[in-house]
Amino acid sequence: MFGFGTTNSLTMDKPHPESLLDSAVQGSIGRPFDRIDGPSKVSGTATYAAEYPVDNLAYGFLVGARIGAGTLISIDADAVRSMPGVIDVVTDLDRFIRVAGQGGETQPPTQGVRDIAFMGEIVAIVVAESYEAARDAALRLPVTYEAGEGAYAFAAARAKSYVPPDGVTPAHFNQGDVDAAMAEAPVTIDATYVTPSQNSAAMEPHASIAVWEDDGSLTLYGAYQMPSTDASQLAKCLGLSAKKVRIVSRYIGGGFGSKLGIAPESVAAAIAAKQIGRPVKAVMARQQVFEATVRRSNTEQRVRLAATRDGKLTAIGQESLVSNQPGEDFFEPVGIGTHMIYSGENRLITHDQVPLNLVLSGSMRAPGEAVGMIGLECAMDELAERLGMDPIVLRKTNDASVDPEKGVPFSSRSLSRALDEGARRFGWARRAGPGEARDGEWLIGMGVASAVRGNMLMESSAKVELRPDGTATISSSMTDIGTGSYTILAQIASEILGLPVDRITVALGDTNDPPAAGSGGSWGAGSAGSAVYLACEMLRGKLAKAMRVEDSALTLKDGMAIGNNRSSPIGEIVGDGLEAIGHIKPGKQEKATTQASFGAHFAEVGVNRVTGEVRVRRMLGVFAAGRVLNAKTARSQCLGGMTFGIGAALTEELLHDPRNGKLVNRDLAEYHVPVNADVPQLEVHFLSERDVHANPIHAKGIGELGISGAAAAIANAIYNACKVRVRSFPVTLDKLLPGLPDL
Ligand code: MOS
C-alpha cells in the first residue's frame, strides 16, 4: 500500500517537539478560513450520497420489521410486484445485516434477518422506477412474522445484566477499596444518575447508491465516516474481497457516530442492484434512521465520591448499567473520562450490559464522556455543596498531575487553567447561592463542569501532489462530516508548501485513494492532518534538494521557493510534478502518556418558577486541545458540541413502548434536538497549547470535547437557580415543578 521511496512514514514512538507548522511562514495555519467546500455546498454542486448522477438508476425503499422480536415467516412479494413502476421485491435473509456496523470494525456486523431482534430491523427492499412507487409498494408489502419474547423495558431487564467484553475502556476496573474509603471519609456522595437513549439525528439520512461494475466489483456511494473500514465490512457482508469494493463518501451531512460503520441500506442496495442488474439507490426515511441505525445507550450511573474535609477525593466510584441487543459486544464506555480526570486513591469504574431488543447501541458523539461526565460532574457539584466549597476550587483541588491509574504523565493538560480562565470570563464571582438570584418570575443560576475527551491517533495516509503550475492536490480516504477536514488539510499543506490555500485542491472520501481512518473519535484532524504534514515534509525535502539547499535553509512562501540567495516559483522546480505519501501510525507515545483534551463549561440558566421551563441564557466553553488548526472551524465544532449538551440536558430522549420496543418519537418533530430558540449566544475560548506527544502537528481532538461536560454544567446551573436537583435526564419541567419554591 505504501510505495517505497515516495512514502514518509512516522510511528509516534517519541515526542515530536519540532513542527514545521511553527517554522513555516505562509501564515495559513490557525487562521479562521472559511470552508473551502462551502461554496459547493451552498450552491448545491457538492454531491451527497443520494445525489450522484447514475444512469439507469432504480429506487429502493426499505422495509422494517413490525414486531419487536420473533421470526420472519414470509414476504408476499407477488402482492405488490404488479403495482405500477415496481421492479422487484428483494431480500436475502442470510446476508442482509441485522444491525449497523460499529466504527472501525473490519469484520461485518451481525448478518441474517430471519430472526427479528428489534422493531424496525430491515428485512427487505422494494425496488421501483421511482421513489414514490417503491415507497407505496413497501408500505403495502405483506410480511408475516411469528412473534417471540423480547425484552424492551430497562427496568424489567436489568436483573439480566452481564459483564461485557472490554471495549475502548475496561468493562470493570477496580483500584483500592471504594467501600472502605466511603465508610471512612467525613464527606461522601452516593447518588444515581440516569440518562436516556439518544439518536445522533444527523441532518442527512443514511443513503447508498450501489453500482456493480462489469468486472464484478462494487462502487457504493454512501454517507460513511470511515470508508476504508466500511468497505471491508461491506465486502465481507457480500462475500467479496475488500479490493472489489470501492466506497465514495465525499460529503456527509453529519454523522455524529451514526455513520461510523455501514448501515443496512448499503447491503440492501448492493444485493438489490445485483439482482435486478441495475444500479439501486436506497435512502432511509427519517423514521428508519431512528429505528434501524444506531442509538446511544441509556445509562444508569451510581456515582460515589469520598472526600476529606478540605475536598481531597479519596474515592471515586462510577458503576454503570448500559444496554444493547443480546449478543452485541459494544457497551457505552460511560467511565472513560472518569479514569483520568481526577486524582483519588480508590477507584471503581464498571459497566454492566442489560440486553434489550432495541436498535443497536453504538457510538454517538463522545461515546462515554458525553454521558459519563453528566453523572460525575453533577456529583462533583453535589459534593462541593456538601463541603461548603466552591465547585471550581473542588475541581482544581483534584486536578490530577499524572494519570491517577497508570501513573504516566499527561501529554498536555490544561484543566485548571481552563477553569480559572472561564471563571474570569464568565463572571463566576457574581454567582449567588442556590435559589438566591431572581429576575422577575425567573430563578437564575450558574453552573460549571469540567470537560475531558480522550485523544486518539489512528493510522492514516494521504497523498500530496505538486504540479508544474504551482498547484497541489491532496487525496485520501479521510472524510469531512461537516467538521472542516477539507479546509484544515488544505491549510496544513498551504503552510508547509508555501502555497496560498486557493492553490490547493482536496479530494476526500474515496477508498481508491490512500487509506485513512476517516472521521470518528475526534481523531480526524490529528491523524489525517499528520499524514498530510508528512507528505508535505517529504515534498519540502525534495524542493530543497532541487534548490541545492539544506532543508533548514529553504523558505517557501506565496508560491516561491527561497534559499541560497535565490528564489524561484515552486512550480518551476518540481519538474513534471512531485508526489509523496504521508503515513502516520500510533506508537509508544500512546502508552507513555495519557492523552486527552480538556476544558471547562459554564452555563447560566433561568428556571421559570411558574411553569418550570428552563432557558439557557448563556454558555461559555474554555477549551485546550493542542494547536488550533482553524480558529473558525474549531470554534464551530465546540459550538456544535455545546448545543448537543443543551439537548442532552433539556430535551433529547428516545422513548420506546415497553410492550414491543416501538420507538414512539422516531422523527425530528418528536425527538427534540435544540432549535435556534433553545440556543443562546454561546461563547468559545481556546487556550494556547501544543501537544508534542500527540502527533507532529501538535493538535488534539476537538470535535467531541464541546459536548463532554456541557449538560452537567446546565444541570448544575439549574440546581443553583432553583435548589432542585434532578438526576434523571433530560431535565424537563415536570421533574422540576414539584420542587420549585412557592411564588
Ligand atoms: Mo464519533 S461517535 O466516533 O463519530
pLDDT tens per residue, range 24-71: 999 999 999 999 999 999 999 999 999 999 999 999 999 999 999 999
How many C-beta atoms lie closer than 10 Å to residue 142's C-beta? 11
* pLDDT for res 90: 98
Is 548 a residue whose pLDDT tops 60? yes
Confirm whether 49-149+206-283 and 368-374+384-456+592-739 share one CATH topology.
yes
Cβ atoms of residues 257 and 367 within 8 Å: yes
Give the three-class secondary structure for 322.
strand
Instruction: Report residue 705 CA to chain centroid gap.
Output: 10
d(CA 322, CA 334): 8
CATH code linked to domain 7-30+460-585: 3.30.365.10
Omega before 730 within 30 of 0, i.e. cis: yes
Angle between helices 710-722 and 631-650 (to 10 degrees): 50
159 pLDDT higher than 70: yes
pLDDT at position 4 over 80: no
Whether the per-residue pLDDT at 477 is higher than 80: the answer is yes
Ligand 1 in reach of 103 Cβ (< 6 A): yes
pLDDT band at 1 (very low <50, low <70, confident <90, very high): very low
pLDDT digit string (tens) for 281-328?
999 999 999 999 999 999 999 999 999 999 999 999 999 999 999 999
Q: Which H, E and C letters describe 192-205, residue by residue?
A: EEEECCECCCCCCC
pLDDT reported for residue 458? 98
Tens digits of residue pLDDT in 447-469: 999 999 999 999 999 999 999 99
Is the pTM higher than 0.95?
yes
Cβ of 287: how many Cβ atoms within 10 Å?
Answer: 14
- In the chain, where the domains are located: 7-30+460-585, 49-149+206-283, 368-374+384-456+592-739
- Collapsing DSSP to helix, strand or coil, 156 comes out as helix
pLDDT category of residue 741 using cuts at 50, 70 and 90:
confident
Give the model's pLDDT for residue 5: 61
CATH number of 368-374+384-456+592-739: 3.30.365.10
Confidence band (pLDDT; 50, 70, 90) for 224? very high
**Ligand 1 in reach of 481 Cβ (< 6 A):** no
Is the CB of 520 inside a 6 Å radius of any atom of ligand 1? yes
Residue 578 has pLDDT above 70, yes or no: yes
What is the number of the ligand 1 atom nearest to the C-alpha of 364?
2
d(C-alpha 430, C-alpha 423), whole Å: 10
Cα(316)–Cα(375) distance, rounded to whole angstroms? 12
- Say whether pLDDT at 173 is over 50: yes
Q: Residue 264: CB within 6 Å of ligand 1?
A: no
Give yes or no for residue 378 having a pLDDT over 70: yes
* 377, 379, 382, 388: CA torsion to nearest 10: -80
In Å, the largest CA–CA distance within the chain is 83
Could you tell me which residues come within 8 angstroms of residue 334 by beta carbon, excluding any fewer than 6 positions away? 299, 301, 318, 320, 322, 351, 368, 371, 372, 375
Strands 187-195 and 299-307: antiparallel
For a substitution probing ligand 1, which of 105, 363, 705, 708 has the most ligand atoms within 8 Å of its CB? 363
Atom of ligand 1 nearest to the CA of 255: 4
Give the ligand 1 atom nearest the CA of 521: 3
CA–CA gap between residue 628 and residue 624 (Å, rounded):
9
Q: Which has more confidence, 565 or 58?
A: 58
Residue of 206, 330, 336, 365 to mutate, ligand 1, most atoms within 8 A of C-beta: 365
- Nearest-angstrom CA–CA distance, 87 and 484: 40
SS3 label, residue 308? coil
Percent of the chain with pLDDT over 90: 99
225 lines ligand 1 (CB under 6 A): yes
Using a 6 Å cutoff on CB, does residue 254 contact ligand 1? Answer: no
**Percentage, residues of the chain above pLDDT 70:** 99
Which helix or strand (DSSP H or E) is residue 221 part of? Answer: strand 218-222
Query: Angle of helix 524-547 relative to helix 485-497, nearest 10 degrees?
Result: 20
Buried b vs exposed e over 716-728: b needs ≥16 C-beta within 10 Å? Answer: bbbbbbbbbbbbe
pLDDT band at 573, cuts 50/70/90?
Answer: very high
The answer to whether residues 690 and 628 touch, using CB atoms and an 8 Å cutoff, is no
Task: Quick: pLDDT tens for 330-351.
Answer: 999 999 999 999 999 999 999 9
Give domain 49-149+206-283's CATH number out of 3.40.50.11540, 3.30.200.20, 3.30.365.10, 1.10.8.640: 3.30.365.10
